[in-house]
Amino acid sequence: MRTSSVVIPLLSLSLASGSLASQQPQPQQQPSNRGPGGARGTQIQPGESCPPGTTEIRPRNCLGPEAPAPSILDYRPKSTLVAPVHMVKTAKYAAIDYHGHPQGLLGSAEGIANLGAYMDSLNVRMMVAADNMSGDRLKNAVAVINASPKMKDRVRVLAGVDFRNVGPGWAEKAVAQLEADVAAGAVGVGEVGKGFGLSAKKADGTRLKLDDPELKPIWDACARLRLPVFIHTADPQEFFEPVDYTNERWLEISLFPGRRYPPDKFPKFEEVMAERDNLFRKHPKTTFVAAHMGWHANDLARLGKMFDESPNLYGELGAVLYDIGRQPRAAHDFFIKYQDRIIFGKDSYQPDEYPYYWRVFETNDEYFDYYRDYHAFWKLYGIGLPDAVLKKVYYGNALRITPNLPRAGFPAN
């Protein structure tokens, strides 16, 4: 049974914070903290929030716990839900990871053999390495891939474009380097990093905008060479917002303060996104793949509108599983509607994490853990995609938009 003794310090806390004190005088002693019907706690006015350390136990009646409240790091409740569990260790169909960062594994025969063993265990048939390789580094990686009888059809690389110092003479050089990288084996461009739009500067010192007209020759070259452009723009919107207790990514930003984009140092999220959308629209013959679903997996209507406006646009799924899996009905319908536009990719190369993706896409399991608490403090749900859609998302769409990917190992349909 609770005693009311703990309520008094909480009341004084709320008085000290000032927000409530100005609107509602607080009596000093209990049973003064009894509200209508005799409920214990602090009364608030309609529209007000409960004071810190309390929660709304009845309408407009806030109470703090008797025991000291754990921090969000230490509160780890075990779910009592008993529901069907379908762990999916390997993808149902051969998958292409379009957002591969195989780290140093393309540097040696042992490395690529190691990569192959992990890919086999997950049924990832192919990895597209999105490490912005160019010149000798790209040639070395391609040589390692070609030297492996087992892996020569299972890894492909994207070429990097150097967006620094865009100005007179830049485009000719960049296009020539891209052509050389394609001759060396590159099948696309990317990953164009988030620095493009947020921090990259032109030769004249101004910020390089995504839709800068000086970049037109490189996008035209990508269309001519049939190279999809894999592009990561900005970061989750919360990284641009004030870091307070209403920010969904408070924990992540507090763990990694460098992920913040304060407005005095960076352009606003919407400013960068508007430039990006303009880039997609201005180059309809160039195929773009927006990494991380363009950071709009939390707003599927917005993403759908983008797909409708730009038929040359595709979305890649890396690192946004927490948004797909928290809206299983809407996400299911979205995947059905845009089944020709969504491409699997994982981003961070952690073999243990792929099965979470398979489980969300392939099952109807409910209320299960995500792999990274600091991304999402909520649970995931399966979206139960039909086989025909899984095939497109896992490999069909990637093969269709990337003409130079090997077809071996994928079903013909």
Query: Please, what is the minimum distance in Å from the beta carbon of residue 36 to Zn ion?
Result: 55
Size of the site for Zn ion (CB under 5 A): 2
The encoded tokens of residue 194 equal 């988030």
Query: Please, what is the minimum distance in Å from the beta carbon of residue 231 to Zn ion?
Result: 10
Residue nearest to Zn ion (CB): 191
Please, which residue, 42 or 132, has the CB nearer to Zn ion?
132
Query: Please, what is the minimum distance in Å from the beta carbon of residue 106 to Zn ion?
Result: 15
Query: How would you class 43 by CB atoms within 10 Å of its CB: exposed for 0-12, middle for 13-18, buried for 19 or more?
Result: middle
The residue whose two tokens read 């309408």 is 59
Query: Please, what is the minimum distance in Å from the beta carbon of residue 100 to Zn ion?
Result: 8
Identify the bridge partners of residue 56 per DSSP, sorted by sequence position: 62
Using CB under 5 A as the binding rule, whether residue 191 contacts Zn ion is answered as: yes
Beta carbons of 198 and 261 less than 8 angstroms apart:
yes
Please, which residue, 211 or 235, has the CB nearer to Zn ion?
235
Using CB under 5 A as the binding rule, whether residue 235 contacts Zn ion is answered as: no
Whether residue 191 is preceded by a cis peptide bond, meaning omega within 30 degrees of 0, is yes
Please, which residue, 233 or 363, has the CB nearer to Zn ion?
233
Beta carbons of 221 and 175 less than 8 angstroms apart:
yes
Query: Please, what is the minimum distance in Å from the beta carbon of residue 292 to Zn ion?
Result: 8
Residue 146's contacts (CB-CB under 8 Å, 6 or more residues apart) are 152
Beta carbons of 166 and 202 less than 8 angstroms apart:
yes
Stretch that binds Zn ion, among 22-30, 110-118, 268-276, 345-353 (CB under 5 A): 345-353
Query: Please, what is the minimum distance in Å from the beta carbon of residue 232 to Zn ion?
Result: 6
Please, which residue, 152 or 259, has the CB nearer to Zn ion?
259
Identify the bridge partners of residue 127 per DSSP, sorted by sequence position: 97, 155
CB atoms within 10 A of CB 400: 14
Start-to-end CA span in the chain (Å): 65
Beta carbons of 191 and 132 less than 8 angstroms apart:
yes
Stretch that binds Zn ion, among 8-16, 185-193, 246-254, 370-378 (CB under 5 A): 185-193
Please, which residue, 130 or 174, has the CB nearer to Zn ion?
130
Identify the bridge partners of residue 55 per DSSP, sorted by sequence position: 63
Query: Please, what is the minimum distance in Å from the beta carbon of residue 296 to Zn ion?
Result: 17
Using CB under 5 A as the binding rule, whether residue 252 contacts Zn ion is answered as: no
Binding residues for Zn ion (CB under 5 A): 191, 347
